[in-house]
Amino acid sequence: MDLNEKTYCILIHGFTKENRIDKALVLFDWMKGLGFDRDVPLFMEGDLVAASWLLQDGNKLSIGPFVSLYNAVLEGLVNGGKVNEAYLLLQEMIASNNLSDEEIAGCASDNEEVEYITNLFKFEKAVIPNSDSYSIVIDGLCKYQELDKALELLHDMAANGCIGNLLLYNNLIHEMCNADRLQESFKLMKAMRGLGLEPNHFTYNSIFGCLCRKEKVSDVLDLMREMLHHGHTPWIKHDTILLKRLCTRGNAMEACQFLSDLEEVGFLPNVIAYSAAIDGLCRIEELDHALKLFHDVHAHGYAPDVVAHNVLIHGFCKEELMRPKA
């Protein structure tokens, strides 16, 4: 009975977990001889020793395949949760590009972490990182909220003539918005356009969501106009959050004006948004206005849901108006 690829992978993972890198590498080479697709990132599972063995074996490769091997190591480190190590390794790759082979062999660092990475991976020649190298590490840094390091790498990436793709910028903008770093998100979107990358619906909605959470009503409407102009639909969940926050703070009338402005922009809110505004009006005892808005929902072709009915009924019962006029 012949072993299949899955069997080899299970054994390799087992030996790696037991720190038997020697046996894992033997099986890894057997896979190559049998023509199996060897998954370097999964094999390493973030193991630095395993990565160093692979790269030592790859020193004989030409620059293209050698960089690809380094990228697989970077991906393996990121997947294994060793993002800082991947970041340091990439920094060493960048530094090696500016040194001769003799300088690389003799270089030392005062930083213990950097020196550890340099000694472990034993740079014997320059390794020029490509766009994939940067993207792998930047995505990993975003995942672990190391946004300043991610921005630093993005700057280095451009300085070294590498261009990021739409996915890279979207991930970075999304995490920046989650961290409420709004102005930097706008700068990144502008940088995208400078590279010929057109923002898509995910780019816009990441920033749109941040503006809604910050309750920047005027900016929200401006961005919605731009989105609709470019054919992108704003995500309803974001404007609903804005409406609910306005109502919670007692600004139900401002919330109603926002609903009206949305219609003028060309975006029709859904029933949930209307229900939130109706609830806000009932809270400040604007029952006539709430009832009017309830009827407006019908006028826009929506059927108010059970939440809208319950909110309105509760509001009238609270004011002891059991039979309100329509």
Helix (H), strand (E), coil (C) string for 80-141: CCCHHHHHHHHHHHHHHCCCCHHHHHHCCCCCHHHHHHHHHHCCCCCCCCCHHHHHHHHHHH
User: What pTM was estimated for this model as a whole?
Assistant: 0.74
> Using one digit for the tens of pLDDT, what is the confidence trace for 116-158?
555 556 556 677 899 999 999 999 999 999 999 999 999 999 8
Average pLDDT, the chain: 81
On whether the CB atoms of residues 276 and 304 are closer than 8 A, the answer is no
When pLDDT is cut at 50, 70 and 90, the band that residue 207 belongs to is very high
Give residue for tokens 């219609």: 263
Give residue for tokens 């959050």: 241
Residue 266: is its pLDDT beyond 80? yes
Least confident range of 46-55, 279-288, 291-300: 46-55
Residues 205, 211, 217, 223: what is their CA dihedral angle, to the nearest 10 degrees?
A: -40
Residue 283: is its pLDDT beyond 80? yes
Residue 190: is its pLDDT beyond 60? yes
On whether the CB atoms of residues 150 and 141 are closer than 8 A, the answer is yes
When pLDDT is cut at 50, 70 and 90, the band that residue 21 belongs to is low
Domains and CATH numbers, the chain: 165-234 (no CATH), 235-326 (1.25.40.10)
- One-letter amino acid at 244 equals K
Instruction: Select from 228, 281, 219 the least CA-distant residue to 250.
Output: 281
> Using one digit for the tens of pLDDT, what is the confidence trace for 70-121?
787 888 788 888 898 889 889 888 887 665 444 444 444 455 555 655 555 6
- How far apart CA 25 and CA 6 sit, in angstroms, is 16
